[in-house]
A and B are shown apart, each in its own frame.
Chain A
Amino acid sequence: MLIKKSADILPSEITPRRVYEGRREFVRQLGRVALLAGAPALPLAARAQSAAKIPGLKKSAFSTTEKQTPYKDVTTYNNYYEFGTDKADPARTAGTLKTRPWTVSVEGAVAKPKTYGVDDLMKLSALEERVYRHRCVEGWSMVIPWVGFALSDLIKEVQPTGSAKFVEFITLADPVQMPGVRQQSLHWPYVEGLRMDEAMNPLTLLTFGLYGEALPNQSGAPVRVVVPWKYGFKSGKSLVRIRFTDQMPKTAWNLANASEYGFYSNVNPTVDHPRWSQATERRIGEDGIFSRKRATLMFNGYGEQVAQMYAGMDLRRNF
Protein backbone atom coordinates (compact mmCIF):
# COMPACT_ATOMS: atom_id res chain seq x y z
CA MET A 1 0.00 0.00 0.00
CA LEU A 2 1.25 3.44 -0.88
CA ILE A 3 1.65 5.90 1.95
CA LYS A 4 1.92 9.62 1.30
CA LYS A 5 5.46 10.94 1.38
CA SER A 6 6.41 13.20 4.23
CA ALA A 7 7.19 16.02 1.79
CA ASP A 8 3.47 16.84 1.96
CA ILE A 9 3.80 17.84 5.58
CA LEU A 10 4.12 21.55 6.00
CA PRO A 11 6.43 22.71 8.79
CA SER A 12 3.42 24.33 10.42
CA GLU A 13 1.65 20.98 10.61
CA ILE A 14 4.41 19.40 12.62
CA THR A 15 3.72 19.15 16.33
CA PRO A 16 5.19 22.21 18.01
CA ARG A 17 8.11 21.62 20.28
CA ARG A 18 6.18 22.56 23.40
CA VAL A 19 3.45 20.04 22.70
CA TYR A 20 5.96 17.43 21.65
CA GLU A 21 8.01 17.90 24.79
CA GLY A 22 4.84 17.79 26.80
CA ARG A 23 3.87 14.42 25.40
CA ARG A 24 4.81 12.46 28.48
CA GLU A 25 2.90 14.87 30.64
CA PHE A 26 -0.05 14.48 28.27
CA VAL A 27 0.01 10.72 28.50
CA ARG A 28 0.56 10.93 32.23
CA GLN A 29 -2.49 13.13 32.51
CA LEU A 30 -4.61 10.61 30.63
CA GLY A 31 -3.38 7.88 32.89
CA ARG A 32 -3.95 10.04 35.91
CA VAL A 33 -7.58 10.59 35.11
CA ALA A 34 -8.18 6.92 34.58
CA LEU A 35 -6.05 5.52 37.35
CA LEU A 36 -5.40 8.12 39.96
CA ALA A 37 -8.24 7.04 42.20
CA GLY A 38 -6.16 3.98 42.97
CA ALA A 39 -3.47 6.21 44.46
CA PRO A 40 -5.05 6.82 47.86
CA ALA A 41 -4.23 3.22 48.67
CA LEU A 42 -0.49 3.88 48.23
CA PRO A 43 0.54 6.21 51.03
CA LEU A 44 -0.26 3.79 53.82
CA ALA A 45 3.50 3.72 54.30
CA ALA A 46 3.28 7.34 55.39
CA ARG A 47 1.47 6.22 58.50
CA ALA A 48 4.01 3.60 59.43
CA GLN A 49 6.75 6.23 59.36
CA SER A 50 5.23 8.33 62.09
CA ALA A 51 3.41 5.72 64.09
CA ALA A 52 4.87 6.78 67.47
CA LYS A 53 2.15 8.32 69.61
CA ILE A 54 3.07 11.58 71.31
CA PRO A 55 2.58 10.97 75.05
CA GLY A 56 0.84 13.19 77.60
CA LEU A 57 -1.38 15.33 75.37
CA LYS A 58 -3.69 17.80 77.07
CA LYS A 59 -7.25 18.10 75.83
CA SER A 60 -8.23 21.56 74.66
CA ALA A 61 -11.42 23.50 75.30
CA PHE A 62 -11.12 24.87 71.76
CA SER A 63 -11.76 21.42 70.25
CA THR A 64 -14.85 20.71 68.21
CA THR A 65 -16.76 17.49 68.81
CA GLU A 66 -17.59 17.11 65.11
CA LYS A 67 -16.74 13.88 63.35
CA GLN A 68 -13.04 13.79 62.53
CA THR A 69 -11.90 13.37 58.94
CA PRO A 70 -10.27 9.94 58.44
CA TYR A 71 -6.47 9.96 58.72
CA LYS A 72 -6.19 8.60 55.21
CA ASP A 73 -8.10 11.55 53.71
CA VAL A 74 -6.22 14.09 55.83
CA THR A 75 -2.89 12.74 54.62
CA THR A 76 -3.61 11.97 50.95
CA TYR A 77 -5.52 15.08 49.91
CA ASN A 78 -3.14 17.98 50.39
CA ASN A 79 -2.34 21.31 48.86
CA TYR A 80 1.40 21.58 49.31
CA TYR A 81 2.81 22.97 46.08
CA GLU A 82 6.43 22.36 47.13
CA PHE A 83 5.58 18.71 46.47
CA GLY A 84 3.44 19.18 43.35
CA THR A 85 0.25 20.97 42.37
CA ASP A 86 -2.03 17.93 42.37
CA LYS A 87 -3.58 17.18 45.74
CA ALA A 88 -2.43 13.58 45.49
CA ASP A 89 1.18 14.64 44.80
CA PRO A 90 2.40 15.48 48.34
CA ALA A 91 1.54 12.05 49.75
CA ARG A 92 3.51 10.45 46.92
CA THR A 93 6.51 12.78 46.80
CA ALA A 94 7.03 14.20 50.30
CA GLY A 95 8.93 11.11 51.45
CA THR A 96 12.14 12.84 50.32
CA LEU A 97 11.82 15.55 52.98
CA LYS A 98 14.33 15.14 55.83
CA THR A 99 12.78 16.51 59.01
CA ARG A 100 15.74 15.90 61.34
CA PRO A 101 17.95 17.74 62.05
CA TRP A 102 15.68 20.76 61.64
CA THR A 103 15.99 24.26 62.98
CA VAL A 104 13.56 27.15 63.13
CA SER A 105 15.07 30.62 63.29
CA VAL A 106 12.92 33.06 65.26
CA GLU A 107 14.17 36.49 64.27
CA GLY A 108 13.46 40.09 63.38
CA ALA A 109 11.91 42.58 65.77
CA VAL A 110 12.37 40.57 68.96
CA ALA A 111 14.43 41.08 72.09
CA LYS A 112 15.56 37.45 72.21
CA PRO A 113 16.03 36.03 68.71
CA LYS A 114 16.90 32.36 68.75
CA THR A 115 17.40 29.40 66.48
CA TYR A 116 15.55 26.42 67.90
CA GLY A 117 16.15 22.79 67.16
CA VAL A 118 12.68 21.43 66.43
CA ASP A 119 12.84 18.94 69.32
CA ASP A 120 13.66 21.74 71.77
CA LEU A 121 10.95 23.93 70.28
CA MET A 122 8.43 21.19 70.88
CA LYS A 123 9.34 21.20 74.59
CA LEU A 124 8.78 24.93 74.98
CA SER A 125 5.21 24.47 76.18
CA ALA A 126 2.77 21.66 76.99
CA LEU A 127 1.47 19.94 73.86
CA GLU A 128 -2.24 19.64 73.51
CA GLU A 129 -4.66 18.09 71.08
CA ARG A 130 -6.92 20.55 69.31
CA VAL A 131 -9.64 19.35 66.99
CA TYR A 132 -10.14 22.17 64.50
CA ARG A 133 -12.28 22.68 61.44
CA HIS A 134 -10.07 23.27 58.41
CA ARG A 135 -11.56 25.14 55.45
CA CYS A 136 -9.74 25.27 52.12
CA VAL A 137 -10.24 28.25 49.83
CA GLU A 138 -11.26 25.71 47.16
CA GLY A 139 -14.52 24.92 48.93
CA TRP A 140 -13.80 21.76 50.90
CA SER A 141 -13.26 21.22 54.59
CA MET A 142 -11.96 18.71 57.11
CA VAL A 143 -11.96 18.21 60.88
CA ILE A 144 -8.43 17.52 62.08
CA PRO A 145 -7.06 16.67 65.53
CA TRP A 146 -3.86 18.72 65.55
CA VAL A 147 -1.11 18.50 68.17
CA GLY A 148 0.72 21.62 69.28
CA PHE A 149 0.67 24.63 71.56
CA ALA A 150 -0.46 28.23 71.20
CA LEU A 151 1.96 30.23 69.05
CA SER A 152 1.65 32.95 71.68
CA ASP A 153 3.73 30.77 74.03
CA LEU A 154 6.67 31.06 71.65
CA ILE A 155 6.04 34.74 70.96
CA LYS A 156 6.14 35.57 74.67
CA GLU A 157 9.41 33.70 74.94
CA VAL A 158 11.20 35.76 72.25
CA GLN A 159 9.70 39.11 73.39
CA PRO A 160 8.71 41.10 70.30
CA THR A 161 9.77 44.76 70.30
CA GLY A 162 7.42 47.69 69.77
CA SER A 163 8.03 47.67 66.03
CA ALA A 164 6.76 44.09 65.60
CA LYS A 165 3.44 44.54 63.78
CA PHE A 166 3.35 41.33 61.75
CA VAL A 167 4.73 37.80 61.90
CA GLU A 168 6.08 36.17 58.77
CA PHE A 169 6.18 32.38 58.39
CA ILE A 170 8.72 31.07 55.92
CA THR A 171 8.59 27.54 54.59
CA LEU A 172 11.62 25.51 53.53
CA ALA A 173 12.30 25.83 49.79
CA ASP A 174 14.79 23.13 48.89
CA PRO A 175 14.66 22.03 45.24
CA VAL A 176 16.56 18.86 46.12
CA GLN A 177 14.05 17.60 48.68
CA MET A 178 10.98 19.28 47.23
CA PRO A 179 10.26 18.46 43.58
CA GLY A 180 7.60 21.20 43.32
CA VAL A 181 10.18 23.89 44.11
CA ARG A 182 11.90 23.04 40.82
CA GLN A 183 8.80 24.39 39.06
CA GLN A 184 7.68 27.99 39.08
CA SER A 185 4.17 27.24 40.35
CA LEU A 186 4.54 29.83 43.15
CA HIS A 187 7.16 32.31 44.29
CA TRP A 188 9.54 30.40 46.59
CA PRO A 189 10.01 30.27 49.48
CA TYR A 190 6.36 30.08 50.46
CA VAL A 191 5.70 32.99 52.79
CA GLU A 192 2.65 33.48 54.95
CA GLY A 193 1.90 36.04 57.58
CA LEU A 194 -0.38 37.21 60.35
CA ARG A 195 -1.01 40.49 62.08
CA MET A 196 0.48 40.52 65.58
CA ASP A 197 -2.91 40.22 67.30
CA GLU A 198 -3.85 37.31 65.04
CA ALA A 199 -0.58 35.56 65.85
CA MET A 200 -1.21 36.12 69.57
CA ASN A 201 -4.79 34.82 69.38
CA PRO A 202 -5.07 31.69 71.55
CA LEU A 203 -6.49 29.74 68.59
CA THR A 204 -3.31 30.13 66.50
CA LEU A 205 -1.50 26.86 66.95
CA LEU A 206 2.18 26.05 66.49
CA THR A 207 1.65 22.51 65.28
CA PHE A 208 3.85 19.43 65.46
CA GLY A 209 1.43 16.56 64.96
CA LEU A 210 -1.96 15.25 63.99
CA TYR A 211 -3.98 12.29 65.18
CA GLY A 212 -1.66 12.06 68.19
CA GLU A 213 1.41 11.44 66.05
CA ALA A 214 4.19 13.53 64.52
CA LEU A 215 3.08 15.38 61.40
CA PRO A 216 3.51 13.35 58.24
CA ASN A 217 5.70 15.17 55.71
CA GLN A 218 2.82 15.97 53.38
CA SER A 219 1.01 17.73 56.23
CA GLY A 220 3.88 20.14 56.90
CA ALA A 221 6.39 18.23 59.06
CA PRO A 222 8.11 18.83 61.32
CA VAL A 223 6.47 22.07 62.41
CA ARG A 224 3.77 24.29 60.94
CA VAL A 225 1.23 26.83 61.99
CA VAL A 226 -2.55 26.28 62.00
CA VAL A 227 -4.91 29.26 61.83
CA PRO A 228 -8.38 27.71 61.87
CA TRP A 229 -10.51 30.77 61.07
CA LYS A 230 -8.61 31.48 57.86
CA TYR A 231 -8.46 29.59 54.58
CA GLY A 232 -5.98 26.72 54.72
CA PHE A 233 -3.25 28.36 52.65
CA LYS A 234 -2.69 30.88 55.45
CA SER A 235 -1.32 28.05 57.60
CA GLY A 236 2.32 27.78 56.53
CA LYS A 237 3.97 24.35 56.58
CA SER A 238 7.48 23.02 57.28
CA LEU A 239 8.63 26.31 58.81
CA VAL A 240 12.29 27.28 58.86
CA ARG A 241 11.95 30.94 59.86
CA ILE A 242 9.49 32.95 61.92
CA ARG A 243 10.22 36.63 61.45
CA PHE A 244 8.75 39.62 63.28
CA THR A 245 8.45 42.75 61.18
CA ASP A 246 6.78 46.15 60.89
CA GLN A 247 5.80 45.49 57.26
CA MET A 248 2.81 43.50 56.06
CA PRO A 249 4.41 40.29 54.68
CA LYS A 250 4.32 39.65 50.95
CA THR A 251 2.51 36.33 51.06
CA ALA A 252 2.78 33.60 48.42
CA TRP A 253 -0.80 33.45 47.13
CA ASN A 254 -1.21 37.19 47.32
CA LEU A 255 1.90 37.56 45.16
CA ALA A 256 0.53 34.95 42.78
CA ASN A 257 -2.88 36.60 42.40
CA ALA A 258 -3.66 39.65 44.51
CA SER A 259 -7.23 40.03 43.27
CA GLU A 260 -8.15 36.54 44.44
CA TYR A 261 -6.12 36.00 47.62
CA GLY A 262 -5.93 38.80 50.13
CA PHE A 263 -3.66 39.09 53.14
CA TYR A 264 -6.43 38.36 55.63
CA SER A 265 -8.23 35.50 53.85
CA ASN A 266 -10.60 34.94 56.73
CA VAL A 267 -13.19 32.26 56.05
CA ASN A 268 -16.22 34.28 54.99
CA PRO A 269 -19.31 32.83 53.33
CA THR A 270 -20.48 36.29 52.26
CA VAL A 271 -17.36 37.23 50.31
CA ASP A 272 -16.97 34.97 47.28
CA HIS A 273 -13.74 34.06 45.59
CA PRO A 274 -13.93 35.91 42.25
CA ARG A 275 -14.34 32.60 40.46
CA TRP A 276 -16.44 30.54 42.85
CA SER A 277 -18.84 30.83 45.74
CA GLN A 278 -17.61 30.51 49.32
CA ALA A 279 -21.11 30.09 50.75
CA THR A 280 -20.91 26.32 51.01
CA GLU A 281 -18.33 23.59 51.45
CA ARG A 282 -17.95 19.87 51.09
CA ARG A 283 -16.75 18.02 54.18
CA ILE A 284 -14.14 15.51 53.07
CA GLY A 285 -14.69 11.91 54.11
CA GLU A 286 -18.20 12.64 55.29
CA ASP A 287 -20.17 14.27 52.50
CA GLY A 288 -20.46 11.60 49.83
CA ILE A 289 -21.50 11.97 46.22
CA PHE A 290 -25.16 12.15 47.14
CA SER A 291 -24.98 14.67 49.96
CA ARG A 292 -25.58 18.36 49.68
CA LYS A 293 -22.77 20.74 50.48
CA ARG A 294 -22.99 22.31 53.91
CA ALA A 295 -23.14 26.01 54.74
CA THR A 296 -19.79 27.65 55.47
CA LEU A 297 -19.66 29.46 58.81
CA MET A 298 -18.36 32.99 59.31
CA PHE A 299 -14.73 32.80 60.51
CA ASN A 300 -15.13 29.04 60.02
CA GLY A 301 -17.24 29.00 63.19
CA TYR A 302 -14.59 30.72 65.35
CA GLY A 303 -16.24 34.14 65.43
CA GLU A 304 -16.53 34.09 69.20
CA GLN A 305 -12.74 33.97 69.55
CA VAL A 306 -11.69 36.13 66.61
CA ALA A 307 -14.45 38.49 65.41
CA GLN A 308 -13.42 41.30 67.76
CA MET A 309 -10.04 41.57 66.02
CA TYR A 310 -11.80 42.74 62.87
CA ALA A 311 -14.37 45.05 64.44
CA GLY A 312 -14.86 48.10 62.24
CA MET A 313 -12.95 46.60 59.32
CA ASP A 314 -14.58 46.28 55.90
CA LEU A 315 -14.08 42.55 55.32
CA ARG A 316 -15.19 42.87 51.72
CA ARG A 317 -12.22 45.12 51.01
CA ASN A 318 -9.87 43.39 53.43
CA PHE A 319 -10.59 39.91 52.09
Chain B
Amino acid sequence: MLLPARLSPKQNTILKVALFILSLGPVSVLTYYAVTENLGANPVEYLTRATGTWTLVFLCITLGITPVRRLTGWNWLSLTRRMFGLFAFFYVCLHFTTYLWFDQYFDAQSIIKDVIKRPFITVGFAAFLLLIPLAVTSNNYLTRKLGVKRWQNLHRTTYLICILGVIHYWWLVKRDLTQPIIYGSVVLVFLAARLLLLRKQKPKTRPRPVATTARETA
Protein backbone atom coordinates (compact mmCIF):
# COMPACT_ATOMS: atom_id res chain seq x y z
CA MET B 1 0.00 0.00 0.00
CA LEU B 2 3.01 2.30 0.25
CA LEU B 3 2.55 3.99 -3.08
CA PRO B 4 2.91 7.74 -3.56
CA ALA B 5 -0.06 10.03 -4.28
CA ARG B 6 1.71 11.51 -7.27
CA LEU B 7 4.26 10.20 -9.69
CA SER B 8 7.09 12.01 -11.41
CA PRO B 9 6.66 12.59 -15.18
CA LYS B 10 9.10 9.78 -15.84
CA GLN B 11 7.26 7.37 -13.55
CA ASN B 12 4.04 8.37 -15.26
CA THR B 13 5.42 7.47 -18.65
CA ILE B 14 6.71 4.13 -17.41
CA LEU B 15 3.36 3.36 -15.81
CA LYS B 16 1.43 4.19 -18.95
CA VAL B 17 3.71 2.19 -21.23
CA ALA B 18 3.59 -0.79 -18.87
CA LEU B 19 -0.21 -0.72 -18.62
CA PHE B 20 -0.50 -0.29 -22.37
CA ILE B 21 1.59 -3.38 -23.01
CA LEU B 22 -0.29 -5.32 -20.33
CA SER B 23 -3.63 -4.35 -21.87
CA LEU B 24 -2.47 -5.71 -25.21
CA GLY B 25 -1.85 -9.08 -23.52
CA PRO B 26 -5.26 -10.62 -24.19
CA VAL B 27 -5.34 -9.70 -27.87
CA SER B 28 -1.77 -10.96 -28.28
CA VAL B 29 -2.63 -14.29 -26.68
CA LEU B 30 -5.77 -14.62 -28.81
CA THR B 31 -3.81 -13.84 -31.97
CA TYR B 32 -1.19 -16.38 -31.01
CA TYR B 33 -3.89 -19.03 -30.40
CA ALA B 34 -5.59 -18.17 -33.69
CA VAL B 35 -2.36 -18.47 -35.66
CA THR B 36 -1.37 -21.75 -33.96
CA GLU B 37 -4.92 -23.12 -34.30
CA ASN B 38 -5.34 -23.38 -30.57
CA LEU B 39 -8.72 -21.72 -30.14
CA GLY B 40 -10.35 -25.04 -29.25
CA ALA B 41 -13.16 -26.94 -30.92
CA ASN B 42 -15.27 -23.86 -31.60
CA PRO B 43 -12.90 -20.98 -32.42
CA VAL B 44 -15.63 -18.46 -33.22
CA GLU B 45 -17.40 -19.06 -29.92
CA TYR B 46 -14.07 -18.81 -28.11
CA LEU B 47 -13.16 -15.51 -29.76
CA THR B 48 -16.61 -14.09 -29.13
CA ARG B 49 -16.50 -14.99 -25.46
CA ALA B 50 -12.92 -13.92 -24.88
CA THR B 51 -13.33 -10.50 -26.50
CA GLY B 52 -16.66 -9.98 -24.73
CA THR B 53 -15.23 -10.92 -21.36
CA TRP B 54 -12.22 -8.64 -21.80
CA THR B 55 -14.50 -5.78 -22.75
CA LEU B 56 -16.32 -6.26 -19.45
CA VAL B 57 -13.06 -6.51 -17.56
CA PHE B 58 -11.78 -3.24 -19.00
CA LEU B 59 -15.11 -1.53 -18.39
CA CYS B 60 -15.00 -2.68 -14.76
CA ILE B 61 -11.42 -1.42 -14.39
CA THR B 62 -12.45 1.94 -15.83
CA LEU B 63 -15.31 2.20 -13.36
CA GLY B 64 -13.03 1.23 -10.49
CA ILE B 65 -10.34 3.87 -11.06
CA THR B 66 -12.02 6.78 -9.31
CA PRO B 67 -13.29 4.93 -6.22
CA VAL B 68 -9.91 3.27 -5.75
CA ARG B 69 -8.14 6.58 -6.24
CA ARG B 70 -10.33 8.22 -3.63
CA LEU B 71 -9.85 5.40 -1.15
CA THR B 72 -6.11 5.12 -1.55
CA GLY B 73 -5.11 8.65 -2.44
CA TRP B 74 -3.21 7.40 -5.50
CA ASN B 75 -4.04 10.38 -7.67
CA TRP B 76 -1.89 9.14 -10.52
CA LEU B 77 -4.51 6.45 -11.19
CA SER B 78 -6.68 9.03 -12.95
CA LEU B 79 -4.07 9.25 -15.70
CA THR B 80 -4.72 5.62 -16.61
CA ARG B 81 -8.49 5.83 -16.89
CA ARG B 82 -8.70 7.09 -20.45
CA MET B 83 -6.40 4.31 -21.62
CA PHE B 84 -8.46 1.61 -19.94
CA GLY B 85 -11.65 3.11 -21.34
CA LEU B 86 -10.19 3.08 -24.82
CA PHE B 87 -9.05 -0.50 -24.37
CA ALA B 88 -12.62 -1.42 -23.43
CA PHE B 89 -13.64 0.18 -26.72
CA PHE B 90 -10.86 -1.67 -28.55
CA TYR B 91 -12.01 -5.04 -27.20
CA VAL B 92 -15.67 -4.32 -27.90
CA CYS B 93 -14.70 -3.50 -31.49
CA LEU B 94 -12.99 -6.90 -31.73
CA HIS B 95 -16.09 -8.48 -30.14
CA PHE B 96 -18.37 -6.77 -32.65
CA THR B 97 -16.11 -7.66 -35.58
CA THR B 98 -16.07 -11.29 -34.48
CA TYR B 99 -19.86 -11.31 -34.49
CA LEU B 100 -20.19 -9.39 -37.74
CA TRP B 101 -17.59 -11.30 -39.67
CA PHE B 102 -16.90 -14.74 -38.20
CA ASP B 103 -20.30 -15.46 -36.69
CA GLN B 104 -22.64 -13.82 -39.20
CA TYR B 105 -20.34 -13.51 -42.21
CA PHE B 106 -21.73 -10.02 -42.96
CA ASP B 107 -25.17 -11.49 -43.58
CA ALA B 108 -27.06 -8.19 -43.22
CA GLN B 109 -30.48 -9.80 -43.14
CA SER B 110 -29.57 -12.21 -40.40
CA ILE B 111 -27.82 -9.47 -38.40
CA ILE B 112 -30.81 -7.12 -38.58
CA LYS B 113 -33.09 -9.95 -37.53
CA ASP B 114 -30.77 -10.74 -34.63
CA VAL B 115 -30.59 -7.16 -33.40
CA ILE B 116 -34.36 -6.77 -33.51
CA LYS B 117 -35.43 -10.22 -32.34
CA ARG B 118 -32.82 -11.23 -29.79
CA PRO B 119 -32.99 -9.06 -26.69
CA PHE B 120 -29.47 -9.97 -25.61
CA ILE B 121 -28.09 -8.82 -28.95
CA THR B 122 -30.25 -5.68 -28.90
CA VAL B 123 -28.84 -4.75 -25.50
CA GLY B 124 -25.26 -5.55 -26.47
CA PHE B 125 -25.59 -3.58 -29.68
CA ALA B 126 -27.02 -0.59 -27.79
CA ALA B 127 -24.11 -0.70 -25.35
CA PHE B 128 -21.68 -0.77 -28.27
CA LEU B 129 -23.34 2.24 -29.94
CA LEU B 130 -23.32 4.18 -26.67
CA LEU B 131 -19.58 3.56 -26.29
CA ILE B 132 -18.75 5.19 -29.62
CA PRO B 133 -19.35 8.84 -28.58
CA LEU B 134 -17.33 8.23 -25.43
CA ALA B 135 -14.37 6.93 -27.41
CA VAL B 136 -14.68 9.79 -29.90
CA THR B 137 -14.71 12.48 -27.19
CA SER B 138 -11.88 10.98 -25.18
CA ASN B 139 -9.15 13.10 -26.79
CA ASN B 140 -7.97 16.36 -25.22
CA TYR B 141 -9.29 18.51 -28.03
CA LEU B 142 -12.91 17.41 -27.80
CA THR B 143 -12.74 17.19 -24.03
CA ARG B 144 -11.87 20.88 -23.91
CA LYS B 145 -14.35 21.76 -26.60
CA LEU B 146 -17.23 20.08 -24.78
CA GLY B 147 -16.42 21.68 -21.45
CA VAL B 148 -16.14 19.94 -18.12
CA LYS B 149 -19.81 19.65 -17.24
CA ARG B 150 -21.02 18.37 -20.59
CA TRP B 151 -18.09 15.99 -20.92
CA GLN B 152 -18.78 14.61 -17.46
CA ASN B 153 -22.45 14.12 -18.14
CA LEU B 154 -21.74 12.39 -21.41
CA HIS B 155 -19.16 10.08 -19.90
CA ARG B 156 -21.39 9.07 -17.02
CA THR B 157 -23.10 6.96 -19.69
CA THR B 158 -20.32 4.49 -18.83
CA TYR B 159 -22.43 3.23 -15.93
CA LEU B 160 -25.40 2.58 -18.20
CA ILE B 161 -23.10 0.88 -20.71
CA CYS B 162 -21.68 -1.40 -18.04
CA ILE B 163 -25.14 -2.34 -16.84
CA LEU B 164 -26.22 -3.07 -20.42
CA GLY B 165 -23.05 -5.11 -20.88
CA VAL B 166 -23.86 -7.25 -17.85
CA ILE B 167 -27.48 -7.70 -19.01
CA HIS B 168 -26.16 -8.72 -22.43
CA TYR B 169 -24.08 -11.44 -20.77
CA TRP B 170 -26.86 -12.40 -18.33
CA TRP B 171 -29.41 -12.98 -21.09
CA LEU B 172 -27.17 -15.05 -23.29
CA VAL B 173 -26.12 -17.54 -20.62
CA LYS B 174 -27.90 -20.86 -20.88
CA ARG B 175 -28.02 -21.80 -17.23
CA ASP B 176 -24.96 -21.07 -15.10
CA LEU B 177 -25.19 -17.40 -14.06
CA THR B 178 -22.00 -17.35 -11.98
CA GLN B 179 -20.03 -15.14 -14.33
CA PRO B 180 -22.71 -12.52 -15.05
CA ILE B 181 -23.38 -12.30 -11.31
CA ILE B 182 -19.71 -11.61 -10.63
CA TYR B 183 -19.50 -8.83 -13.22
CA GLY B 184 -22.87 -7.45 -12.15
CA SER B 185 -21.73 -7.26 -8.54
CA VAL B 186 -18.52 -5.49 -9.47
CA VAL B 187 -20.45 -2.90 -11.51
CA LEU B 188 -22.99 -2.37 -8.72
CA VAL B 189 -20.28 -1.95 -6.08
CA PHE B 190 -18.47 0.67 -8.17
CA LEU B 191 -21.71 2.41 -8.96
CA ALA B 192 -22.65 2.51 -5.27
CA ALA B 193 -19.15 3.74 -4.36
CA ARG B 194 -19.47 6.43 -6.97
CA LEU B 195 -22.84 7.64 -5.71
CA LEU B 196 -21.48 7.82 -2.18
CA LEU B 197 -18.42 9.76 -3.30
CA LEU B 198 -20.60 12.20 -5.22
CA ARG B 199 -22.73 12.84 -2.17
CA LYS B 200 -19.69 13.35 0.05
CA GLN B 201 -17.96 15.75 -2.32
CA LYS B 202 -20.99 17.86 -3.30
CA PRO B 203 -20.62 20.80 -0.84
CA LYS B 204 -16.92 21.17 -1.58
CA THR B 205 -17.12 21.28 -5.36
CA ARG B 206 -18.64 24.71 -5.93
CA PRO B 207 -15.57 26.91 -6.34
CA ARG B 208 -13.69 24.66 -8.70
CA PRO B 209 -10.52 25.84 -10.43
CA VAL B 210 -11.20 26.09 -14.16
CA ALA B 211 -7.77 24.84 -15.13
CA THR B 212 -8.39 21.24 -14.03
CA THR B 213 -8.95 18.99 -16.98
CA ALA B 214 -12.24 17.22 -17.25
CA ARG B 215 -10.62 13.85 -17.23
CA GLU B 216 -9.36 14.27 -13.72
CA THR B 217 -12.60 15.44 -12.20
CA ALA B 218 -15.08 13.25 -13.98
Contacts and interface: CB of A to CB of B under 8 A. Distances in A.
B175 to A, nearest CB: 6
Contact of A277 (B26, B39, B40, B113): B113
B44 interface: yes
Contacts of B193: 12-13
Interface stretch (A18-26, A156-164, A202-210, A300-308): A18-26
Contacts of B133: none
Contacts of B186: 19
Contacts of B54: 33
A19 B175 contact: no
B196 interface: yes
A1 B45 contact: no
A97 to B, nearest CB: 20
B147 interface: no
B99 to A, nearest CB: 12
B136 interface: no
Interface stretch (B66-74, B155-163, B210-218): B66-74
B185 A33 contact: no
A188 interface: no
Contacts of B96: none
Contact of A76 (B25, B41, B50, B182): B41
Interface residues on chain A, size class: 35 or more
Contacts of A25: 178, 182
B52 to A, nearest CB: 9
A46 B73 CA distance: 52
A140 interface: yes
Interface string B162-188: 000000000110111011011001100
Given A34-B26, A85-B175, A275-B118, A15 B44 contact: no
SS of B interface (majority): helix
B29 interface: yes
Looking at B41, B67, B117, the one whose CB has the most chain A CB atoms below 10 A away is: B41
B40 A40 contact: yes
A85 B5 CA distance: 44
Interface string A37-70: 1111100000000000000000000000000000
Contact of A30 (B57, B67, B110): B57
Interface string A228-253: 00000000000000000000000000
A13 B196 contact: yes
Contacts of A284: 41-42
Contacts of A77: 40-42
Interface in A76-99: 76-77, 81, 85, 87-88
Given A275-B118, A289-B44, A37 B175 contact: no
B120 interface: yes
A9 B197 CA distance: 11
Looking at A16, A26, A35, A72, the one whose CB has the most chain B CB atoms below 10 A away is: A26
Interface of B: 1-5, 25-26, 29, 33-34, 38-47, 49-50, 53-54, 57, 67, 71-73, 102-103, 105, 107, 110, 113-114, 117-120, 171-172, 174-176, 178-179, 181-182, 185-186, 189, 192-193, 196
